[in-house]
Amino acid sequence: GQNIDQPTEMTATEGAIVQINCTYQTSGFNGLFWYQQHAGEAPTFLSYNVLDGLEEKGRFSSFLSRSKGYSYLLLKELQMKDSASYLCAVFSPVNYGGSQGNLIFGKGTKLSVKP
Partner 1 sequence: GAVVSQHPSWVICKSGTSVKIECRSLDFQATTMFWYRQFPKQSLMLMATSNEGSKATYEQGVEKDKFLINHASLTLSTLTVTSAHPEDSSFYICSASGGPIAASYEQYFGPGTRLTVT
* Contacts with partner 1, residue ranges (CB under 8 A): 30-31, 33, 35, 40-45, 48, 50, 87, 91, 96-108
CB of 2 to partner 1, least distance (A): 11
CA–CA gap between residue 20 and residue 111 (Å, rounded):
9
Beta-bridge partner residues of 53: 64
CB of 44 to partner 1, least distance (A): 7
CB of 16 to partner 1, least distance (A): 25
Between 42 and 67, name the residue whose CB sits nearer to partner 1. Answer: 42
Between 50 and 54, name the residue whose CB sits nearer to partner 1. Answer: 50
Q: Is 33 exposed, middle or buried (0-12, 13-18, 19+ CB in 10 A)?
A: buried
Phi, psi of 80 (to 5 degrees): -60, -35
